[in-house]
């Protein structure tokens, strides 16, 4: 009977509900939080370093530098700008618009494009006023051109042949 006596001190104190899973979760949370704090501190340090570097670079860029450009370099830059404007000019679009608009009664004598402002000047001769107005109408209907207008016309007589000399201006889009 003595062996069956129950120890009362186990019943008087509350049972501990701590389990090993709870301990593992707590340790993993602490490890994650410490990793997060360390990463945050490292990033703040990187930001501070970048700010210092930015200040140094901004101080260095404020120093006035006198760059001497020779006249040969200036001339070279001007020629290069002209060549790049020539290369970038939409020649194909311009010639297609003229070809679609032209007819046998129109003779184009001069094409003068301004590559910077994209103003196009066409000079030529037409056999009749109807041919000229037809050419002007078709040219103004082209998608690549805007503001097509007749700026000059003059009747020219050569022996028995009468032609109309004209000048048309348009803006290339």
Chain-centroid distance, C-alpha 143 = 23
pLDDT band at 101 (very low <50, low <70, confident <90, very high): very high
Whole-prediction pTM value?
0.55
- Mean pLDDT for all residues in the chain: 87
Answer whether residue 130 shows pLDDT above 70. yes
Q: Dig out the tokens for 170 from the structure.
A: 């348009």
Dihedral sign for Cα atoms in the order 139, 144, 150, 155: negative
Assign 3-class secondary structure to the chain: CHHHCCCCHHHHCCCCCCCHHHHHHHHHHHHHHHHHHHHHHHHHHHHHHHHHHHHHHHHHHCCCCCCCCCHHHHHHHHHHHHHHHHHHCCHHHHHHHHHHHCCCCEEEEEEEEECCCCEEEEEEEECCHHHHHHHHHHHHCCCCEEEEEEEEEEEEEECCEEEEEEEEEEEEC
Report the percent of the chain where pLDDT is more than 70.
Answer: 87
Answer whether residue 9 shows pLDDT above 90. no
């Amino acid at each position: 009977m003595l062996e069956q006596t129950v120890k009362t001190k186990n019943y008087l104190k509350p049972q501990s509900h701590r389990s090993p899973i709870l301990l593992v979760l707590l340790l993993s949370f602490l490890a994650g939080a410490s990793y997060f704090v360390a990463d945050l501190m490292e990033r703040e340090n990187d930001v501070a370093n970048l700010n210092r570097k930015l200040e140094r670079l901004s101080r260095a860029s404020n120093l006035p530098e006198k760059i001497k450009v020779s006249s040969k370099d200036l001339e070279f830059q001007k020629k290069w700008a002209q060549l790049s404007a020539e290369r970038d000019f939409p020649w194909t679009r311009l010639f297609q618009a003229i070809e679609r608009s032209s007819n046998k009664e129109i003779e184009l004598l001069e094409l003068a494009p301004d590559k910077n402002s994209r103003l196009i000047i066409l000079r030529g001769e037409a056999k009749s006023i109807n041919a000229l107005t037809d050419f002007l109408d078709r040219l103004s209907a082209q998608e690549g051109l805007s503001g097509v207008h007749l700026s000059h016309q003059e009747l020219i007589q050569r022996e028995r042949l009468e032609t109309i000399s004209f000048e048309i201006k348009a803006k290339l889009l």
